[in-house]
């Protein structure tokens, strides 16, 4: 193949792609065990999600519930949860960029 230095070049390219895929898989496995925090109301509600974006913990300070304003409490829980997920996604993107060099590779994870 022209541009790949013959069949050895293509084999080398495939080997590199396979190594990158293995690194990405390992990163995903490690990432799933990590935890990411989000908060709302100055820390009145704190949510932690894991690397698979499942809620691991939620802490709601008593004062959030004392007033009986369920709409506000619900909103704070949503904000904290979304914040935790956003933080997890940002960290995942940084980690993947370190493996892929920032290249977007369609079809790979």
In terms of average pLDDT, the best of 8-22, 31-45, 86-100 is: 31-45
pTM to 2 decimals? 0.75
In SS3 terms, the chain reads as: CCCCCCHHHHHHHHHHHHHHHHHHHHHHHHHHCCEEEEEEHHHCEEEEEECCCCEEEEEECHHHHHCCCHHHHHHHHHHHHHHHHHHHHHHHHHHHHHHHCCCCCCCCC
In this predicted structure, the answer to whether residue 5 has a pLDDT above a threshold of 60 is: no
Instruction: Provide the pLDDT for residue 1.
Output: 45
- More confidently predicted of 16 and 40: 40
- More confidently predicted of 44 and 14: 44
CATH superfamily placement of domain 7-100 = Nucleoid-associated protein YbaB-like domain (3.30.1310.10)
In this predicted structure, the answer to whether residue 109 has a pLDDT above a threshold of 50 is: no
In this predicted structure, the answer to whether residue 14 has a pLDDT above a threshold of 90 is: no
């Amino acid at each position: 193949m022209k541009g790949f230095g013959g069949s050895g070049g293509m084999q080398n390219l495939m080997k590199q792609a396979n190594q990158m895929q293995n690194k990405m898989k390992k990163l995903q496995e490690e990432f799933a065990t990590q935890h990411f925090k989000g908060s709302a109301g100055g820390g009145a509600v704190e949510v932690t999600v894991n690397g698979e974006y499942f809620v691991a913990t939620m802490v709601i300070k008593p004062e959030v519930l004392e007033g009986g304003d369920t709409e506000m409490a619900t909103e704070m829980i949503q904000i904290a949860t979304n914040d935790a997920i956003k933080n997890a996604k940002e960290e995942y993107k940084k980690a993947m960029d370190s493996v892929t060099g920032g290249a977007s590779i369609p079809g790979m994870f």
